[in-house]
Structure 1
Amino acid sequence: MVTIENQQLRLTIHPKGAELQSIFQKEFQTEYMWSGDPAFWGKHSPLLFPIVGTLKGNTYNYQGNAYSLPRHGFARDHEFAVETQSAESIGFLLKSDAATKKNYPFGFELRVIYRLNGSGFSTTYRVTNPATGPLYFSVGGHPAFKVPLAPGTEYTDYYLEFDQTENTPRWPISKDGLIDMPAQPLLNNTRTLPLTKDLFAKDALVLKHPASSGVALRSKKTERGLKMDYPGFPFLGIWAAPKADFVCLEPWCGIADAVDSSQELTEKEGIQRLESGETFGRSWTLTLF
């Protein structure tokens, strides 16, 4: 484990998957991250790369060859090297190797950088293509935040508040983990989504191109909450395991295959194409209150 901290905040990160393990706010003496209880879901904030979600048949095709990748890819299961570190920031690096190229035939450098900023922090994903040909990939976050956050409050005391009025449906997920259709009503001329544990009975809420680039976790019974800003991420997942005391707010540059996917990687919805020598970057920020 590695730790960075300032006067207000302490982050703990595991080099495996460069996975955030703890977000502790010192003034409030409050832990904001889900505990990772394996009885419900044994992760905290897995990194999604080089795909987000599930492939149709767990398989994609590229240049006439078929390859297999598990749901959300492999980065979360690999040890990252600590590339840079200071008191208030840390950068992790994962590079392609012979093992990754067996089922993902691309050269890549994947960096994850955490940087404290007063009462919040940023998480940056940076993908560089060191190879001569194009790099196709998706990347996204999957952080799980503890709910309830304050003593004396319950899960249903909390709600999500988007920074814009939303008229956005959810895209259902099939039994095979694929994006199904048609879209189903979810947010109709509203900025708020009350949290209930039944909300995720049919898996995650998947939003495509919401009007908002930020969402807050709030409650009328406590001042404790958080705000996530995710500019440049075209998809948002919202999820919790059955009966678990957390909610995941997941900014994605990529999405699971649709049920009618061609399985051609270059045609995949949300796929990013990066030319030789180029670098792609996206950041989401968290403000705690």
Structure 2
Amino acid sequence: MITIENEYISADFAAKGAELQSLKSKKHNLEYMWSGNPEFWGKYSPVLFPVIGALKDGIYYFDGKEYQLPRHGFARDKTFKVEQLNQTEVLFTLNQDEETLKSYPFEFILQLHYKISGAELTCTCTVINPADKHLLFSYGNHPAFATPVTAGLKYNDYYLQFNNDSTLTYHKINNDLIDNETLTIVLENNILPLQHKLFYEDALVFKALKSDQISLRNTQNDHGIHYHFKDFPYFGIWAAKHADFVCLEAWCGIADGINHNQQLKDKEGIITLPPDDSWERSWSVTCF
């Protein structure tokens, strides 16, 4: 386990998947991340690359060839190199290898830079194209936050507060693919109360959120998190059935739609990065 810390918070990571597995407040002695209980869902904060969600029939086509990729891609199951490490920062790097090239015919450099400052953890993702052809990819994050954080609270004591949305219009998921059908939730004071039944039919997937901050709070005390994200056009909110966590997932990319033609270049949200170019996005969590 790799740890970075300051006087306010500490964060632990696994080299496998460059995965954030613990985020603790030293001041309050609280753990904000999900426990990773495999009876419900054995991950904590997987990195989604080079695709997000499911591919239609599990396949895509590129340059006339058929390829297969698992749900959310392969980065979450690959061991990253620790390139830099000091007390408050760590840089993880992943490159293509013989195995990835069989399912994803691109050279790439994927870097995840985690840094803590005060009570905030920031993750900056950089994708570099070292090749002489365009790189097609998606990137997303998938952190699972504990609900409850403090003892004695229940799931229904928690709610999500959006900084700039009074209604939520989300797409239904049909056999792991994005349906054209949408549903709308009207919020009171921009608040979505958490209930396990919200996720009985899989994630809530948004294509037009106005918010760039979602706060996880509860009705019993003042402890929670602010989740900040910017320039992520898609968003997912999910929890495993009856599990005590909620995932807040900012995405640059999305699962295939039910009518997708399976061509990677036509995939909704796909990012096309020119040769010798780079791409960057950041998200952060502030603990309180």
* 1:255 corresponds to 2:254: yes
What residue is the counterpart of 2:270 in the other structure? 271
For 1:167, give the aligned amino acid: T
Say if 1:155 and 1:196, in contact at 8 Å, map to a contact too.
yes
Q: CA deviation at 1:129?
A: 0.2
Say if 1:166 and 1:212, in contact at 8 Å, map to a contact too.
no
Q: CA deviation at 1:101?
A: 0.7
Same amino acid, percent of matched pairs: 45
What residue is the counterpart of 1:163 in the other structure? 163
Q: CA deviation at 1:98?
A: 1.8
What residue is the counterpart of 2:129 in the other structure? 129
CA distance in 1, matches of 2:186, 2:92: 37
* 1:34 corresponds to 2:45: no
Q: Deviations over 1:213-259 (max 9, x none)?
A: 11000112111110001101111110000110100001110100000
What residue is the counterpart of 2:64 in the other structure? 64
* 1:191 corresponds to 2:187: no
Say if 1:138 and 1:270, in contact at 8 Å, map to a contact too.
yes
Please give the TM-score of this superposition, normalised by the length of structure 2: 0.98
What residue is the counterpart of 1:105 in the other structure? 105
Q: CA deviation at 1:159?
A: 0.5
What residue is the counterpart of 2:86 in the other structure? 86
What residue is the counterpart of 1:118 in the other structure? 118
CA distance in 2, matches of 1:19, 1:151: 25
Say if 1:254 and 1:270, in contact at 8 Å, map to a contact too.
yes
What residue is the counterpart of 2:225 in the other structure? 226
SS class of match (1:102): helix
CA distance in 2, matches of 1:145, 1:165: 21
SS class of match (1:101): helix
Q: CA deviation at 1:187?
A: 4.0
SS class of match (1:183): strand
SS class of match (1:140): strand
Q: Deviations over 1:41-91 (max 9, x none)?
A: 010001100000000011011111110000000001110000111110000
For 1:171, give the aligned amino acid: H
Greater mean alpha carbon deviation, residues 96-105 or residues 166-175: 166-175
Q: Deviations over 1:154-181 (max 9, x none)?
A: 1101100001133331101112x00012
Q: CA deviation at 1:124?
A: 1.1
Q: Deviations over 1:138-196 (max 9, x none)?
A: 00001000001122221101100001133331101112x00012111124575111000
CA distance in 2, matches of 1:124, 1:44: 18
Q: CA deviation at 1:122?
A: 0.2
CA distance in 1, matches of 2:266, 2:182: 21
CA distance in 1, matches of 2:65, 2:34: 40
CA distance in 1, matches of 2:102, 2:7: 45
For 1:276, give the aligned amino acid: P
Say if 1:23 and 1:32, in contact at 8 Å, map to a contact too.
yes
Say if 1:215 and 1:228, in contact at 8 Å, map to a contact too.
yes
CA distance in 2, matches of 1:39, 1:250: 21
SS class of match (1:67): strand
* Total equivalences in the alignment: 288
For 1:92, give the aligned amino acid: F
* 1:287 corresponds to 2:278: no
Say if 1:167 and 1:190, in contact at 8 Å, map to a contact too.
no
CA distance in 1, matches of 2:237, 2:98: 34
CA distance in 1, matches of 2:137, 2:285: 25
Please give the TM-score of this superposition, normalised by the length of structure 1: 0.98
